Amino acid sequence: MIGGGLGNEVLQYVEEWIPDRSYRSETKFQNDLQEYLDQRLNESGGMGLDIGLGGGSGDQIPVKREHGSVNADVAVGDDIGIEMKRDFTNSKKHRLSGQITDYQKEFPYVIVVACGISDMDGWRELQNEYGGPGGIGMNQGEVHFVHKKKENFGKDPSEVNRDGDGPLGGVL
């Protein structure tokens, strides 16, 4: 089951990722995450997946931008679609809801990443509507939400306050 292997690994890496800085465009955040995931999954050997897609197998895991018919912001293989939002506001909720629905048609696993949130109401409503069960890990069909706090951008992981908001201030 990929959700128990690659899905969990990618979710963990997305939670650990800290943007290098506060970018002015969503595209820069996408590039930053793509590079980070590619390095973690392919150059560092991953966590040793049992599905023949990476880790100890020697195979490389493609980490792509604007992939598939939905133009996923970042895609890991053909199974994990990542949609990113910069400075998410409540007014962006309806569009993001439609994007999540489209992603679910194309990818078995979906991760939504907000790099800064101005209004938590819409974000929480989407989490309640689409979010997978509590706890870490992914099962097919689940959507996971990760919030990257602006005050952590550019910081070394050792500098980030781990105050119960998830790894490195990640998952809500």
Domain ranges for the chain, please list them.
2-169
pLDDT digits (tens, 9 = 90+) for 88-108: 999 999 999 999 999 999 999
Query: How many whole angstroms separate alpha carbon 60 and alpha carbon 76?
Result: 11
Cα torsion 66, 53, 79, 86 to 10°: value is: -50
pLDDT digits (tens, 9 = 90+) for 31-82: 999 999 999 999 865 554 434 344 445 688 999 998 878 899 999 999 999 9
Residue in 42, 35, 32, 57 with CA at minimum distance from that of residue 9: 42
Q: What are phi and psi of 67, to 5 degrees?
A: -105, 145
Full-model pTM: 0.81
Following DSSP, what letter does each residue of 95-154 receive, concatenated? HHHHHHHHHHHH-SEEEEEEEEES-HHHHHHHHHHHB--SSS---TT-EEEEEE-GGGTT
pLDDT digits (tens, 9 = 90+) for 117-151: 998 999 999 999 997 654 455 555 789 999 999 99
